[in-house]
């Protein structure tokens, strides 16, 4: 049975408010991606959750803001791109880097890849596992991990993908170091991004870090949250320089 919470929490500490909101469920998100329909559960009262977590100094300082509670446009375009890569992904070890609600991890698993999916936030993984169950997809290997402290075997992933995983320039170097650690020789990474300025710094950093990148796809998508226009998302393919 789904839990509900009272929204009148004015006298409750911010951390306790966030816990209560995380433990509630909002209306299902239903989206078409990769040739089928997906239903996603997420935390309820997203605006209240965001406010509660930003008011909680510990969550704010530890960067545990609830980005994962939204289904971002990059995930939808990335899911479609993965569907076009079905043959190369089949039975290959793959990593979803920052899986959030789990859409692209589930898509990869449904396509036949052997998917591990990581996120920094345990609540994201809890909802992602619920979503895999709801959509009748074999559970990926869910990993609670900070990309600054990799906890997987070096060179173990043939493919790595992530949708809109960077919001600040200080994330660029740790992400590149993580990719260098996790990606197998000859492996490929796909990064989907909606034109955020931080990705200009990311692409610039590639060429001084032994990587090469090329844009392999651009797509427009209407988002599930309020937006007056479709969002254009670019997918970049990253490989190590020979």
pTM for this one?
A: 0.84
Domain end: 68, 88, 108, which one? Answer: 68
Count the domains in the chain. Answer: 2
Domain presence at residue 9: no
* pLDDT band for position 7 (cuts 50, 70, 90): very low
Closest CA to 83 of 45, 35, 48, 37: 35
* pLDDT for res 64: 60
Query: Based on the domain organization, do 123 and 199 belong to the same domain?
Result: yes
Closest CA to 193 of 209, 210, 213: 213
Q: What crossing angle do the helices spanning 122-134 and 103-110 adopt, rounded to 10°?
A: 40
* pLDDT for res 69: 81
Query: Based on the domain organization, do 154 and 37 belong to the same domain?
Result: no
Query: Based on the domain organization, do 128 and 226 belong to the same domain?
Result: yes
pLDDT by residue (tens digit) across 35-90? 999 999 987 656 666 666 566 545 444 456 667 788 889 999 999 999 999 999 99
Report how far residue 56's alpha carbon sits from residue 119's, in angstroms, rounded to the nearest whole number: 20
CB atoms within 10 A of CB 240: 16
End-to-end CA distance of the chain: 54
Report how far residue 87's alpha carbon sits from residue 90's, in angstroms, rounded to the nearest whole number: 6
For residue 177, give the CATH number of its domain. Answer: 3.40.50.150
> Could you tell me the two tokens for 164?
């809109």
């Amino acid at each position: 049975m789904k839990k509900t919470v009272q929204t009148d929490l004015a006298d409750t500490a911010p951390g306790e408010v966030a816990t209560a909101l995380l433990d509630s469920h909002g209306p299902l998100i239903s989206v078409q991606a990769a040739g089928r329909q997906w239903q996603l559960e997420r935390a309820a009262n997203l605006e209240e959750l965001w406010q509660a977590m930003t008011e909680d100094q510990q969550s704010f300082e530890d960067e545990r803001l609830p980005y994962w509670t939204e289904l971002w446009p990059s995930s939808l375009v990335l899911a479609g791109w993965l569907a076009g890569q079905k043959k190369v992904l089949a039975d290959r070890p793959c990593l979803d880097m920052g899986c959030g609600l789990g859409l692209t991890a589930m898509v990869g698993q449904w396509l036949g890849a052997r998917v591990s999916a990581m996120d920094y936030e345990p609540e994201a993984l809890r909802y992602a596992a619920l979503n895999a169950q709801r959509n009748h997809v074999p559970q990926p290997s869910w990993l609670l991990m900070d990309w600054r402290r990799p906890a997987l075997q070096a060179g173990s992933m043939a493919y790595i993908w992530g949708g809109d995983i960077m919001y600040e320039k200080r994330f660029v170097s740790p992400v590149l170091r993580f990719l260098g650690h996790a990606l197998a020789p000859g492996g490929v990474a796909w990064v989907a991004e909606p034109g955020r300025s931080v990705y200009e710094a990311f692409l610039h950093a590639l060429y001084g870090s032994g990587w090469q990148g090329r844009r392999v796809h651009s797509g427009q998508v209407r988002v599930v949250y309020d937006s007056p226009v479709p969002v254009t998302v670019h997918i970049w393919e990253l490989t190590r320089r020979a």
